[in-house]
Amino acid sequence: MSIADNLSSIKAGLPSKVTLVAVSKTKPVSELMEAYEAGQRLFGENKIQEMAEKHDAMPKDIEWHMIGHVQTNKVKYMASFVNLVHGVDSFKLLEEINKQAKKNNRVIDCLLQVHIAEEETKFGLDEPELETLLASESLKSLQNICIKGLMGMATFTENESQIRKEFSFLKSLFDKYSKFQILNSKFSILSMGMSGDYKTAIECGSTMVRIGSSIFGGR
């Protein structure tokens, strides 16, 4: 199957309200261009440097999403062009994104990453930390960021019911906190689901799936 075939068969199975992020990390520009020529305009990368290089090399009507863990000192390399930062998990990082967005005269959309998996290694906030962050007065001073919703990764397991439980938990947080007015926006994006688990994620309420290997092949 070609990249174009993979894309069209995945898209055929997605509800219209679910957005597809094509996760192109580690893949060469030539392969991203195959996806571009098949109509894909939204790409996700997990390294800022790599995303910036691809952004420079590729057409300018692409939306770039940073899906990986973000180091504060690298925010400046993506602040002029990034469309959505999925993995925000600290106030300090929000402050830096706000600062760099301001320098570029932009508002940068962000998702807060919540830790829902069993693995210790996955980044993200737990519920009390999420609550504290969203309730903090100092958040109001960050005029150049917009918190659009939540992102999470389920445990890497074959156990469907475990995955379902984790995604449902994230959806319940999304519903709970979307009732609050946060800065100038309300939650509209729930980013959950990868190649192995996106169908379950959609059943649990995902509005944005991040799919890599099922489009571009293994890494």
**CA gap 183, 172 in Å, rounded:** 21
Burial class (CB in 10 A: 0-12, 13-18, 19+), 184: exposed
State in angstroms the smallest separation of the CB of 140 from ligand PLP: 29
Residue 6's nearest CA partner among 204, 202, 195 is 195
State in angstroms the smallest separation of the CB of 162 from ligand PLP: 17
DSSP string, 132-152: HHHH-GGGGG-TTEEEEEEEE
* Geometric angle at alpha carbon 51, from 47 and 57, rounded to 5°: 155
State in angstroms the smallest separation of the CB of 111 from ligand PLP: 11
DSSP strand pairing (84-88 vs 42-45): unpaired
State in angstroms the smallest separation of the CB of 75 from ligand PLP: 17
State in angstroms the smallest separation of the CB of 158 from ligand PLP: 14
Nearer to ligand PLP, 132 or 213 (CB): 213
Binding site for ligand PLP (CB under 6 A): 23, 25, 46, 67-68, 153, 194-196, 210-214
Nearer to ligand PLP, 62 or 67 (CB): 67
**CA gap 93, 17 in Å, rounded:** 29
Nearer to ligand PLP, 112 or 142 (CB): 112
Nearer to ligand PLP, 62 or 111 (CB): 111
DSSP strand pairing (19-23 vs 42-45): parallel
Nearer to ligand PLP, 75 or 151 (CB): 151
3-state DSSP call for residue 98?
helix
Nearer to ligand PLP, 147 or 212 (CB): 212
Evaluate whether 108 touches 85 at the Cβ level (below 8 Å). yes
The residue of the chain with the least Cβ separation from ligand PLP equals 212
**CA gap 83, 48 in Å, rounded:** 13
State in angstroms the smallest separation of the CB of 70 from ligand PLP: 11
